[in-house]
Amino acid sequence: MLDEKELKKTKRVNITGEIPNGRLQILDNNGKIREFRLREMTIAGARTEIDQCNRENYCVYYKGVVEILDRFHINSYKKTFKYILKSKKWFICGNYDDIIKAHR
């Protein structure tokens, strides 16, 4: 089940490549692009949303696993992603500070 509070907090991201070799790119607070590996993406749901300009957008939600290589092991983080079909834009939902901190 998707958490409504988590879905409202979004940040624009860039996802490229095919899974399991997909790449997630996030712009951090310092203006640097952080790149992560996406291991898997599964569809979690879809719905029509109305944006600030009263336009309808069809959105697909995905559950993804972000991998970060630490010194001797790989850390995995489960995140929710939102894809807007009309504009072809990706967003990460909820708090993403844990993957930014782990990447340092």
pLDDT at position 69: 81
Query: Domain-by-domain residue ranges, the chain?
Result: 4-103
Q: What is the signed CA dihedral for 44, 93, 64, 1, rounded to 10 degrees?
A: -30
Which ranges of the chain have pLDDT less than 50?
none
The CA distance from 82 to 67, in Å, is 18
pLDDT at position 21: 84
Pick from 38, 20, 31: nearest CA to 92: 38
pLDDT at position 4: 67
pLDDT at position 104: 62
pLDDT at position 5: 64
pTM of the model: 0.86
